[in-house]
Amino acid sequence: MTGKPFVAADLSGAMHVDHDEARQAFLDALDSFTGCVRGASDQDLLAASRCAGWTAGDVVVHVHMGLQEMLLGLVTPAAEAAGTDAASYWRATPPATDEDAGPTDGIRFVRLVGAAYRRPTGAVRHLLPTADGVRSAVTRLEAGAVRFQGHVLSTGDFLATWAVELAIHHLDLRIGAPAPAALRLARRTVEALAGGEVPGSWPDELAVLLGAGRITPDAAQRSAAPAFPVLG
């Protein structure tokens, strides 16, 4: 696919998202993801996802764990100014609870948790109450700043990172499509991390899949966005 060449954007790579915009994008993404998996069959969830080593059901398990962790940020307001934005958050390595863990340990852990369910759809039933709790907490969240994983983010940027997380993992499922607003935020994040705009002819889904390293670019795509992938 051809398009306009890579164009430099904000050299700082900073990305800030309004609280209300991010909240709506997150809620849309959450509803889209949960609606999609609620209708998935065991066979759908046993299919390979776009995440190496994971089935679609494993992605559900991973998202459930992430939403549980997200709750920690939602209940931890910060008084100081934010030092991390919606793009720079992705450049930092999340804190580890096991310093000896290797890159595949997290993949194996999620697979083991997923295998503990008698049927893959059990993971969905386990996810839904957590999603309802997160939805309620996000709806009540007031604009400000929160502390999460050693960072302080504005509530808008915090919610934006989770909208992006859900959009990418929805693409990983290979079932249905993410909420458009969340997918647009994911594209903005990819471009902020890359330091420039990708060709306008690329649909948001393609830009995000390439930017997140979920698909291999062809020669023209590699030429148009040489920094990819930028988001794992």
How do residues 13-46 score in pLDDT, each as one tens digit? 789 999 999 999 999 999 999 999 999 999 999 9
Q: What are φ and ψ of residue 95, in 5° steps?
A: -60, 140
Classified as helix, coil or strand, 55 is strand
Q: Where are the domains of the chain?
A: 14-90+105-194
Q: How confident is the model at residue 103 (pLDDT cuts 50, 70, 90)?
A: confident
The per-residue pLDDT for range 182-202, each reduced to its tens digit, is 999 999 999 999 999 999 999
Task: Report the pLDDT averaged over residues 121-139.
Answer: 98
Q: How confident is the model at residue 132 (pLDDT cuts 50, 70, 90)?
A: very high
Say which residues have a Cβ less than 8 Å from residue 109's Cβ, sequence separation at least 6.
none
Q: How confident is the model at residue 95 (pLDDT cuts 50, 70, 90)?
A: low
Rounded Cα–Cα distance for residues 147 and 84 (Å)? 10
State pTM to two decimals.
0.92
Rounded Cα–Cα distance for residues 34 and 131 (Å)? 8
* Mean pLDDT, the chain, integer: 92
- What's domain 14-90+105-194's architecture? Up-down Bundle (1.20)
| HSE-CB for 31 with a 13 A CA cutoff | 13
Task: Let me know: does 198 contact 223? Beta carbons within 8 Å.
Answer: no
Task: Let me know: does 179 contact 187? Beta carbons within 8 Å.
Answer: no
Please check the confidence at residue 54 and state whether its pLDDT lies above 70.
yes
